[in-house]
Amino acid sequence: MRIIGPIIVIVLAALPFAACQKGDGLSYGAGARAAQAEGQSPEAAAEISDLDLPVDTLFARACGHGVKTFECAECRYEVGVVKAPPGLFADGLFRETKVASRRVEQALTLTGEVGFDERRVRHMSVPADCIIRRVHAVLGDRVAAGQAILEIESVAVGEAEEDYLAARALLTLARRNHDRVAELQREGIASEREFFEARQELEAADIRVGAALGKLMRLGMSGEDAAALTPDVARGFVTLRASASGTVLSLRAVPGKAAGPDESLAVIGDNSTVWVSADLYERDLRRVARSCASGTVPAAFETSAYPGETFSGTVDFIGPVMDEVSHTVKLRIKAPNPGGRLLAGMFVTVRIFLPGDEETAAVPETAVLTDEGRSFVFVRHHDDYYVRRPVETGRTWPDWTEIVAGLAGGETIVADGSFLMKSDVLRSKMGAGCAD
Ligand SMILES: [Zn+2]
């Protein structure tokens, strides 16, 4: 509506608004049914909704302007007809579709929980039992790879530092000894055997430093921090850094708190997509697995945090393990999470849609409009003319609505933009197009 607003203003200003006796427009009222229309006077028949009259009757009618009603820019709405020039389809305002038979999808309802997309996040834990001394980030911070997040103090780190410093000191001695023996050997004072022993010691010392450094790094220390260690600064402290850039999505670290290697203290990454983990019963496993193997399985889910709102996703993975107690398998659903509104830990009710053997006529849900409790679609009649036709709807799926009655299949209907056809505003715009 926003798009066509300015055009309408111009159209309204330019239209000469010829007086029309029947200018009150479409009667959308439920009115009497077609059966009652038989044998009634034209005045009484005019009260009947266009939805209850055969298409041929509607297109045969003439209006007070001496033309066919459907051709009259001012009266065609009385017979439920709109004229939509191809330009509006080319502009993307409208989209047509054929009424086609569609394989019925069967919904399976599961319970689930929102979690992080584990491929997009990194968990931060401590490498050994420790005390958290400082926390450098807060929840929601954008952090860069390598940025300091936590500072911990650990006995294991202190011991590893001592080992590393001792190995480094021994390496210095071994190197000095090696260089001295090499000098003596060149002068013919030391034997070749003494030289090889010195070189062996140097190599062994080098390996010991490498091993001690490896241990420190496994405890979370960076190479730079290790290189900067001296007996004065070694106190068992390690600064833990972000391993990748991202947002701090979870943070359970508090200064002074003891922590162990088996707990996740922080989660850093991106939650623009999330994983919903749902429990799938053993009896449904085969059906779901078969559907996943043959195509995308759509899912829709709701959470009590956002009543009335439906989120969508697709089944991504079927877990490899069956829970012995509940006899369920974890089903993973990948879902976009714009704005990060879905939070890890939220409980959700999930519906997944599996293709069935049954086929039925269905149209995009945007095609179906309702007025005073009756559903209708706009069907293309000929050229640029579209007419409202009543339909009976059945089941609904994400984006699709079943048509139980009213359409035979093969008709061209308006899929997108039909609500604009219904609106009075567009009627003025269409009317302008016909008036020429
Ligand atoms: Zn007219």
Residue 408, pLDDT above cutoff 60: yes
Q: How high is the pLDDT of residue 47?
A: 63
In this predicted structure, the answer to whether residue 1 has a pLDDT above a threshold of 60 is: no
What's the 20 CA to ligand 1 centre distance in angstroms? 7
- Rounded mean pLDDT of 96-111? 87
Tell how far the Cα of 79 is from the centroid of ligand 1, in angstroms.
Answer: 11
Instruction: Report the 10 Å Cβ neighbour count for 251.
Output: 19
Task: Kindly give the distance from the C-alpha atom of residue 26 to the centroid of ligand 1, in angstroms, as a whole number.
Answer: 12
Least confident of 7-11, 294-298, 344-348, 427-431: 7-11
> Distance, CA 16 to ligand 1 centroid (Å)?
14
76 alpha carbon – ligand 1 mean position (Å) = 7
CATH 3.90.550.10 assigned to 121-153+240-268: no
Q: Is pLDDT at 254 greater than 80 in this prediction?
A: yes
**Span 196-225, pLDDT tens digits:** 999 999 999 999 999 999 999 999 888 888
The alpha carbon of 75 and the centre of ligand 1 are apart by a number of angstroms equal to 4
Q: How far is the CA of 427 from the centre of ligand 1 (A)?
A: 13
User: Regarding beta strands 142-143 and 246-251, do their DSSP bridges make them parallel or antiparallel, or are they unpaired?
Assistant: antiparallel
Please give the pLDDT value at position 398.
73
Please tell me the distance from the alpha carbon of residue 279 to that of residue 299, in angstroms, as a whole number.
13
Q: Give the strands of the sheet with 121-124, arranged side by side.
A: 121-124, 266-269, 246-251, 142-143
Pure H helices in 262-368: 282-294
What is the SS3 assignment for 339? helix
DSSP string across 27-77 = --S--S-HHHHTT--HHHHHTS-GGGS-HHHHHH-B-TTSSBGGG-TTTGG
- Distance from the CA of 61 to the center of ligand 1, in angstroms? 10
- How far apart are the CA of 84 and the centre of ligand 1, in A? 18
- For residues 258 and 153, what is the distance between their CA atoms, to the nearest angstrom? 10
Question: How many Å separate Cα 199 from the centre of its chain?
Answer: 61
C-alpha 428 to ligand 1 mean position (Å): 14
Q: Give residue 27 CA to ligand 1 midpoint distance, Å.
A: 15
367 Cα to the center of ligand 1, angstroms: 28
Task: Report how far ligand 1's centroid is from the alpha carbon of 67 (Å).
Answer: 7
Q: How far apart are CA 20 and CA 428, in angstroms?
A: 14
Q: What is the pLDDT of residue 90?
A: 83
pLDDT of amino acid 74: 83
Domain boundaries, the chain: 5-102+360-434, 106-118+270-359, 121-153+240-268, 155-235
Distance from residue 88's CA to the centre of ligand 1 (Å): 24
Is the pLDDT assigned to residue 175 strictly greater than 80?
Answer: yes
Task: Give yes or no for residue 84 having a pLDDT over 90.
Answer: no
CA 2 to ligand 1 center in whole angstroms: 29
Amino acid at 250: S
Mean pLDDT computed over 264-291: 93
Please tell me the distance between residue 62's alpha carbon and the centre of ligand 1 in angstroms.
Answer: 8
Domain covering 5-102+360-434 in this structure, CATH number: 2.40.420.20
Cα 68 to middle of ligand 1, angstroms = 8
What is the tens place of the pLDDT at every residue in 298-352?
A: 999 999 999 989 899 999 999 999 999 999 999 999 999 988 899 999 999 999 9
Superfamily name with CATH number, domain 106-118+270-359: Efflux pump adaptor protein, beta barrel domain (2.40.30.170)
Q: Residue 389 has what pLDDT? A: 92
Distance 25 CA to ligand 1 centre (A): 10
* Cα-to-centroid distance, 284 and ligand 1 (Å): 60
- How far, in Å, from the CA of 255 to the mean position of ligand 1? 80
pLDDT of residue 11: 33
CATH number listed for the domain at residues 155-235: 1.10.287.470
How close is the Cα of 65 to the center of ligand 1, in Å? 5
Q: In angstroms, what is the span from residue 81 Cα to ligand 1's centroid?
A: 12
Q: How far is ligand 1, taken at its centre, from the CA of residue 22, in Å?
A: 7
Q: Is the pLDDT of residue 235 over 60?
A: yes
| pLDDT on residue 424 | 52
Digit-coded pLDDT (tens) for 35-73 = 344 444 555 555 677 888 899 999 999 988 999 999 988
Across the chain, mean pLDDT equals 84
* Cα 78 to ligand 1 centre (Å): 9
CB neighbours of 394 closer than 8 A, spacing ≥ 6? 360, 401, 402, 403, 404
Buried/exposed 30-56: b ≥16 CB within 10 Å, e otherwise: ebeebeebeeeeeeebeebbbbbbebe
pLDDT at 77 over 70: yes
Measure the CA angle with vertex 251, ends 267 and 239; round to 5°: 80
What digits encode the pLDDT tens for the residues 359-371? 888 899 899 998 8
pLDDT at 255 over 90: yes
Distance CA 376, CA 388 (A): 6
DSSP 18: -
| C-alpha 435 – ligand 1 centre gap (Å) | 11
Provide the token pair at 244: 């990748």
pLDDT at 37: 43
